[in-house]
Amino acid sequence: MRIILAGMGDVGYHLAKQLSSEAHDIIAIDIDQERLSYSDSMTDIMTINGSSTSIKILRAAKVEKADLLVAVTSSEEVNLTTAILAKKLGAKKTIARIGNGEYLQPDIGVNFGELGVDFMIYPEELAALETVNLIMRTAATDVLEFEGGKLSVIGLKLDKNAPVMHQRLAEVAKQYHTIDFRIVAIHRNFRTIIPSGNDKFIPNDQVFVITTPGGSETILKLAGKENLKFENIMILGGGRIGRRVAKLLEDSMNVKLIESNTEKTYELADYLQKTLIIQGDGRDIDLLAQESIIDMDAFIALTEDAETNIITCLMAKHLGVKKAIALVDKADYIPLTQTIGLDSLINKKLLAANSISRFIRKGEIVAMATLEGIDAEVLEYIAQPGSIITKKKVKDLGFPKEAIIGGVIRGNESVITIGNSQIKENDKVVVFSLPGAVKKIEKYFR
């Protein structure tokens, strides 16, 4: 596909990095030459310095030949204008990043498709939904669901007393051969491993497990975890993400929201009927103590300042909160947060890039996602009739060692793959892969 990316901030860069490994023809447009130079040095793309709202620049990018234009600058107005112009100039499909959730309401009365915007991505809503998902899966550090939960990839930090500690994967698989799960990756000391049967679990491992709905409880026990029911939640930050998370949780949990801006607290009080709004500085440990942080099940820091979010989450963990989730938009901080005691992090820009990638089809890939803080990708393929993947049992395929086939969705059924599994045509196959193996995997599904 010929894809034009307008805006090479974090979202654009993540997208370029994902897509360049799939042999797409990518043209990046940005007004900042420094961003373009960095992206060009890290990915295989063509760059054009200029404004994406310039018809001259769009024509220089040969927009009339573009299969897709993705506008992900920091300006909603620029993104919408770019998408509309690109569609009028001949781009087949357009996607625009927005910052106003109102545009996604079904009763708004404006058909953006008619204007030229085929799809809109709202990172704040994605971040809110991801946060709620992590609160509902109390023990998980990461959650990815496929086909409405028929298969799930769950990230877990192993407790030092976990039953699987110091055991080899083959031993665990032998003991629990009737359970529908498979270990697909281990993150250890800043390195991601696609494990073999001889790899052992050691303290502080973060493991990623693919499972069917019936396997979740056993996985938690093996990791030394309990899927507790959370009742008391404290949120720091009443911005677009914080208020949305509170709205989604307030009917089922006791929610307290701390916001430093006095005017904003009045707006929040009108919007949130069941959430207790507190005006104050969430970094003030005395305020946290007064608001009974020791009784909280989870603390969620969603301010616009990554350092504040990290520090307050660490304070909450020190005070005994079971789960701390931080919004961290600085990519450099992502690997660090996995080692300093945070349970989960939310990166709205990476979530946006992953969501956009679902709308980009290359051959048999139907979905692609990157997990925060680890160097691996989760891909969903469709096994084409006559493809290599359908011709032999999994153990005989010679599949790359840097990747692992986790599970298969076949109609309404989901199956965890083992060595003797046989993949059939039209199966949806979930693969966990290190970045360098993606091109090797593609040939199995053509």
* Rounded Cα gap, residues 7 and 389, in angstroms: 37
The alpha carbon torsion through 395, 396, 402, 408 (nearest 10 deg) reads -60
Distance CA 354, CA 369 (A): 5
pLDDT tens, residue by residue, 164-199: 888 898 888 888 766 688 888 888 877 888 888 888
User: Mind listing the domains of the chain with CATH numbers?
Assistant: 2-121 (3.40.50.720), 132-222 (3.30.70.1450), 229-346 (3.40.50.720), 352-445 (3.30.70.1450)
Under the banding of pLDDT at 50, 70 and 90, the label for residue 363 is: very low
For the ranges 55-69, 79-93, 135-149, 426-440, which has the lowest average pLDDT?
Answer: 135-149
Is the CB of residue 253 less than 8 Å from the CB of residue 300? no
Q: What are the tens digits of pLDDT across the range 114-123?
A: 999 999 999 9
Q: Are 83 and 62 in contact (CB under 8 A)?
A: no
Would you state the pLDDT for residue 368?
A: 60
Instruction: Indicate if the pLDDT at residue 367 is higher than 70.
Output: no
Count Cβ atoms below 10 Å from residue 255 Cβ, excluding itself. 23
CA atoms within 13 A on the CB side of 257: 33
Rg (alpha carbons) of the chain, rounded to whole number: 23
For residue 5, the number of C-alpha atoms closer than 13 Å in the C-beta half-sphere is 33
Containing H/E element for 88? helix 76-88
Q: How far apart are CA 45 and CA 193, in angstroms?
A: 28
Specify the higher pLDDT residue, 374 or 13.
13
Q: Are 405 and 394 in contact (CB under 8 A)?
A: yes
Alpha helices by DSSP H, listed for 250-404, are 262-271, 285-290, 306-318, 334-337, 348-357
Cα(187)–Cα(153) distance, rounded to whole angstroms? 14
pLDDT tens column, 236-294: 999 999 999 999 999 999 999 999 999 999 999 999 999 999 999 998 989 999 999 99
pLDDT of residue 374 exceeding 70, the answer is no
Which structure tokens are listed for 288?
A: 């946290």
